[in-house]
Chains A and B, each alone.
Chain A
Amino acid sequence: MGITSAIMIISGIGIIAAVMLVLAAKFMHVEEDERIGRVTECLPGANCGACGYAGCADYAKAIVEADTPLNLCVPGGAAAAEGAAKVMGKVAGATAAKVAVVACQGFECNTSKKFDYQGITTCSAAAKMFNGPTACAYGCMGFGDCVAACKFDAIQVVNGVALVNQEKCTGCGACAKACPKAIIHMIPDDVNPVVLCQNVDKGAQTRKVCSTGCIGCMKCTKFCPTNAIKVENNLAYIDQELCIGCMQCADECPVKAIHIPNIRKQY
Chain B
Amino acid sequence: MAKLASIFFSMVLVNNYLLVKFMGICPFLGVSKKLDSSVGMSVAVTFVMLMATAITWPIYTFLLVPFGLEYLNTIAFILVIAALVQLVEIILKKYIPSLYTALGVYLPLITTNCAILGVTLLNIESGYNFIESLVASAGAGIGFLLAMVLFTGVRSTLEYAKPPKSFEGLPITLVAASLVAVSFMGFGGIIESLFGTF
Which of B72, B79, B82 is A6 in contact with, Cβ under 8 Å? B72
Contact between B83 and A2, CB atoms less than 8 A apart: no
Contact between A180 and B162, CB atoms less than 8 A apart: yes
Contact between A10 and B83, CB atoms less than 8 A apart: no
Which of A10, A24, A124 is B90 in contact with, Cβ under 8 Å? A24
Contact between A13 and B67, CB atoms less than 8 A apart: no
A1-32 near B? 1/0 per residue, CB < 8 Å: 01001100110011001101100110011100
Which residues on B sit within 8 Å (CB–CB) of A28? 90-91, 93-94
Residue of A nearest to B63 (CB): A9
Which residues on B sit within 8 Å (CB–CB) of A58? 101
Which residues on B sit within 8 Å (CB–CB) of A14? 79
Interface of B is mostly: helix
A177-193 near B? 1/0 per residue, CB < 8 Å: 00010000000000000
Interface residues of B, CB < 8 Å — how many? 22
Which residues on B sit within 8 Å (CB–CB) of A50? none
Residue B59 at the chain A interface, CB threshold 8 Å = yes
Which residues on A sit within 8 Å (CB–CB) of B170? none
The 7 closest A-B pairs by CB, nearest first: A17-B83, A28-B94, A24-B90, A5-B67, A28-B90, A30-B93, A6-B69
With contacts A18-B83, A20-B83 taken as known, whether A13 is within 8 angstroms of B76 at the C-beta atoms is: yes
Q: CA A158 – CA B60 in complex, angstroms?
A: 73
Q: CA A20 – CA B79 in complex, angstroms?
A: 13
Which residues on A sit within 8 Å (CB–CB) of B162? 124, 180
Contact between A2 and B68, CB atoms less than 8 A apart: yes
A245-267 near B? 1/0 per residue, CB < 8 Å: 00000000000000000000000
Residue B175 at the chain A interface, CB threshold 8 Å = no
Question: Beyond the given A6-B69, A25-B90, A30-B94, could you list 20 further A-B residue pairs with CB under 8 A, ordered by the A residue number?
Answer: A2-B68, A2-B69, A5-B67, A9-B64, A9-B69, A9-B76, A10-B76, A13-B59, A17-B79, A17-B80, A17-B82, A18-B83, A20-B83, A24-B91, A28-B90, A28-B93, A29-B94, A30-B97, A124-B162, A180-B162
A24-56 near B? 1/0 per residue, CB < 8 Å: 110011100000000000000000000000100
Nearest chain A CB to B136 CB, angstrom units: 23
Residue of B nearest to A2 (CB): B68
Q: CA A17 – CA B52 in complex, angstroms?
A: 13
Nearest chain A CB to B20 CB, angstrom units: 31
Binding site for A on B (CB under 8 A): 59, 63-64, 67-69, 72, 75-76, 79-80, 82-83, 86-87, 90-91, 93-94, 97, 101, 162
Contact between A10 and B63, CB atoms less than 8 A apart: no
CB pairs A–B below 8 angstroms (7 shown)? A2-B69, A9-B76, A13-B79, A17-B83, A20-B87, A24-B87, A30-B94
Q: CA A2 – CA B68 in complex, angstroms?
A: 8
Which residues on A sit within 8 Å (CB–CB) of B59? 13
Which residues on A sit within 8 Å (CB–CB) of B68? 2
Nearest chain B CB to A96 CB, angstrom units: 26
Contact between A9 and B67, CB atoms less than 8 A apart: yes
Which residues on A sit within 8 Å (CB–CB) of B63? 9
Nearest chain B CB to A33 CB, angstrom units: 13
Q: CA A29 – CA B86 in complex, angstroms?
A: 13
Residue of A nearest to B83 (CB): A17
Which residues on A sit within 8 Å (CB–CB) of B64? 9
Q: CA A20 – CA B91 in complex, angstroms?
A: 12
Listed residue (B68, B72, B80, B83) with the most chain A CB atoms within 10 angstroms of its CB: B83
Residue of B nearest to A24 (CB): B90
Q: CA A67 – CA B11 in complex, angstroms?
A: 48
With contacts A30-B93, A58-B101, A180-B162 taken as known, whether A13 is within 8 angstroms of B80 at the C-beta atoms is: yes
